[in-house]
Amino acid sequence: MNLHAKTLADTLLVEVEEDRIDAACAIQFKDRMRELVAKAEGRVLIDMARVRFLDSSGLGAVVAVMKLLGPERRLELAGLTPAVDKVFRLTRMDSVFRIHPDLPAALREAG
């Protein structure tokens, strides 16, 4: 699972460098995110602009990361492609996560 992470002010930015988060890689995604968030504090922003497909396992992995952060830390998403956005809307998870249209918008709305 290729994830690129960097810290910008109080935000851990994680860029997903894969076109799918599905049953084949959901556990790897969750484990890698666990490693990354353990080393950081504050807001976590996942840029999903490259992700073209997300199934229920992938969605479950994203939710697991949110739960791992607990109530004191925020998990935000940016750049959902149309197919991925549809999964979030159909499952009503768009009401659970703060979703930004793209990375620049998410970075402008920090805080």
**77 within a domain of the structure (yes/no):** yes
pLDDT of residue 111: 53
Q: Average pLDDT of the chain?
A: 93
DSSP H helices in 1-111? 26-38, 56-69, 82-90, 103-108
Q: Identify the domain containing residue 100 by its residue range.
A: 3-105
**CATH code for position 81:** 3.30.750.24
Per DSSP, 51 falls in state -
**33 within a domain of the structure (yes/no):** yes
Whole-number Cα distances in Å, 30 to 23, 55, 68, 71: 11, 14, 10, 18
The domain total for the chain is 1
- Check: pTM over 0.75? Answer yes or no: yes
**69 within a domain of the structure (yes/no):** yes
| 52 contacts: CB under 8 Å, gap ≥ 6 | 19, 20, 81, 83, 84
Across 103-110, average pLDDT: 86
Across 76-105, average pLDDT: 95
**110 within a domain of the structure (yes/no):** no
The SS3 of residue 44 is strand
The SS3 of residue 53 is strand
pLDDT of residue 40: 83
Are 44 and 73 a contacting pair, CB within 8 Å?
A: yes
